[in-house]
Amino acid sequence: MALRQVLGRGLQLSRGLLLRWGPPRPGPGPVRLPAPGAAWPLLPARYRFFRESVAGLAGRLRRQLLGRMAPRGLSLAFGLGLALLEQGLEEQRQAASACRDIQTIFIRKNKPQKDPLSSSRWQGFKLDEYLIGQPIGKGCSAAVYEAAIPFLASCKGKVDSKGIQSKDAGVTQWDPSSVTKDVEENPIQVNQQKAAFPLAIKMMWNISAGSSSEAILSSMSQELVPASGSALSGEYGAVVCPRKPVFEKRRLRPHPNIIQVIRAFTSPVPLLPGADVDYPDVLPSTLNPSGIGNSCTLFLVMKNYPCTLRQYLRESIPDTRLGTMMILQLLEGVDHLVQHGVAHRDLKSDNILVEFDSAGCPWLVIADFGCCLADEKIGLKLPFTSWYVDRGGNGCLMPPEVVTAVPGPGVVIDYSKADAWVVGAIAYEIFGLCNPFYGKGKSALESRHYQEDELPSLPDNVPVDVKQVVKMLLQQDPSKRLSARVAANVLHLSLWGENILAPKSLKLDKMIGWLLHQSAATLLMDGLVDKSSVEIKMKRCFFANLEYEDLWEAAFLFLSWRSASL
């Protein structure tokens, strides 16, 4: 809004105030300007100001406001103030509208992940429809195996004479005894064999849920929170209707930083490779006479990822920019959970999976929802009435507001910023340091009673704004802690928006111009470069979650931290 328009609007507002609350209007006759020192009459209907220059008008107003400040002068000043306020509000409305338009475009671009098992010839709701390979990992409640789809594997041609497929002879079973020998003789061939298993099957250990499908699905319903819409079709036919009343769990929409369960079904427990050595006690008595497991359990089919975050960090330390992008991905995933009223409650580097784009940049995916809070009725606020209420897993990374909670009538644990706190702790691992809340000794901290100034310093090459984000995520008081959304926006600005914030001043028009430029460039690059590019995917997530208030708060924090560091 131009200065002339602001002044005109201010005069209109002040005239309205005078007409409403001022003295009666004078009778007909010429309107004369008052003598110096006399009171000003009502403003005439025809403004002389519009026939003067802007500079002359500004000088007249300045003299009027700095003079006696007569009541009519105060009304004029108040009207001008309202006009300036209206100008700021209009700019904010325009900025918020631009953010909503950009968000709408990228929400449409972020389509749900394509189901890799979608095929008219194959369903995948039975265990014997998969080829099971070697064990990938084992936790406290499940074992994970690599798996493949037989007809897809046979279409790809021959991989190995002892492998899962043969173009001429048809599909055969995988021979586990050949793995050790193959590693010694031909490691390249082993990599090809592993690439032939694009899926992972998680077999839950069923000790107390019984053997009926209904009891199993109800008891292990937390594992089904990230399930796709068709994941349970093999059990119920139509999944949308029965799921909510049966499980009473929230359903997550697909997100690129959240694991997706593409098939879930119950089946008898088989004797899989390594089962009699790795977990014999949880097998059913039909497979192990001393086993205490039930005969049926839940199986979850997911994408097979190369490694966990812990495994990746054992082999390499990402540089500063790469580490910032990794923290950003975790924050985007946690923000998606919060938006859907879900708290993971067991976030750690072992439960974060990693894959790589064509440039070798890691892409992080949050997995293992067995301890999550996803109740339709209570949301993120858990009534903590007794010590028997489950507060989640991993005591070392339990946020302060959770670990210090004392049960009682009316006590509620708010998990809205709990996972964001854990991301702050994992950031130390990403930047090559020990997690300050792991281990024992003087260097280890306890989330119950640590002080913020006891947190170790991040490496010197980490940008100030990234350090401040980690520090603010690890605030003991949740009300002072950054939300995952605002923290993610700060890191987005740190990675890609520093140019607009370089002048140390924040202007809405420059911010909106930058958003429009970046969104247009992202749309163009989306069709020119590999869509698996981590940078492109992160920008799409940013624009799909774009909110004016959160972005403005993040920009203000970014500038204040940069200014304080100079």
Among the listed residues 269, 456, 423, 421, the one whose alpha carbon sits nearest the alpha carbon of residue 351: 423
155 burial level (CB within 10 Å; 0-12, 13-18, 19+)? exposed
Residue type, 144: V
Q: DSSP 3-state assignment of 312?
A: helix
Which one of 346, 368, 419, 550 is the catalytic residue?
A: 346
531 burial level (CB within 10 Å; 0-12, 13-18, 19+)? exposed
Q: DSSP 3-state assignment of 113?
A: coil
User: Does the annotation mark 278 as catalytic?
Assistant: no
Phi, psi of 180 (to 5 degrees): -60, -45
The residues that bridge with 200 in the sheet, in sequence order, are: 146, 302
93 Cβ neighbours under 8 A, 6+ residues apart: none
The residues that bridge with 199 in the sheet, in sequence order, are: 147, 303
Question: Distance (Å, rounded) from C-alpha 250 to C-alpha 222?
Answer: 9
Q: According to DSSP H, which parts of 70-161 are helical?
A: 71-109, 150-155
Q: According to DSSP H, which parts of 233-389 are helical?
A: 233-236, 240-247, 275-278, 309-315, 320-339
Question: Distance (Å, rounded) from C-alpha 318 to C-alpha 313?
Answer: 8
Question: Distance (Å, rounded) from C-alpha 266 to C-alpha 23?
Answer: 83
Just list the catalytic residues.
346
